Amino acid sequence: MTTDSVTSVSHSVNVLFVCLGNICRSPTAEAVFRHYVDSAGLAEQVVVDSVGTAGYHIGAPSDSRAIEAAQRRGYDMSAIRARQVAIEDFEQFDYILAMDKANLQSLLAQCPEQHAHKLALFLSHGDTPQTNEVPDPYYGDGAGFETVLNLVESASQGLLQHIIDNPLQKS
């Protein structure tokens, strides 16, 4: 995104990306969104993390295909390790953004009601009206990881602008 309109956000904002395994889509979103946050000079004010709704890959690095596709576009996923969503996440994070409807449903089933307003599809912030889900690339060919990056880049720009335009009211 262009950064010249960016000044600051008034409170720290905590953003959590969620997919199934936390080795393909949500860590890609974490790396891409963090890159935009850093470029906008907002690294001190925006916390970025990702989780899976499933625990299949806890502690594992991201899928090597995702790491390589992201690296080709200048995004670093090397330090990310998979973890599973925990009940504390619903309290800690302000934006909890699911990659697809199945994972959004899974989050809704676990989320305390007072935090349910934080849950949304990540692509609700994107500029891709043809789809509101990031397709799972895990069982497909390499092209799926490029599709993930295209969708994630679009939605990351929209999300950062949304955060800048809508300061959180925190006490």
Which residue among the candidates 19, 34, 63, 111 is catalytic per the annotation?
A: 19
Q: What are phi and psi of 128, to 5 degrees?
A: -130, 75
- Residue 17 C-beta: closest distance to ligand 4NP, Å: 10
β-sheet bridge partners, residue 84: 52
Residue 17 or 95 with smaller CB distance to ligand 4NP = 17
Q: Residue 165 CB, nearest distance to ligand 4NP (Å)? A: 28
Structure tokens at 58: 């806890």
Is-catalytic flag, 4? no
Cα separations in angstroms, 41 against 8, 46, 69, 97, 125: 8, 10, 25, 22, 20
Catalytic residue among 24, 25, 34, 49: 25
Positions touching ligand 4NP (CB under 6 A) are 19-25, 56, 136, 138
Cβ proximity to ligand 4NP, 40 vs 144, nearer residue: 144
Instruction: Specify the 3-state DSSP secondary structure of 110.
Output: helix
Does 34 qualify as catalytic in the annotation? no
Active-site residue flag, 49: no
Distance CA 5, CA 102 (A): 35
Closest residue to ligand 4NP, Cβ-based? 21
Catalytic residue IDs: 19, 25, 136
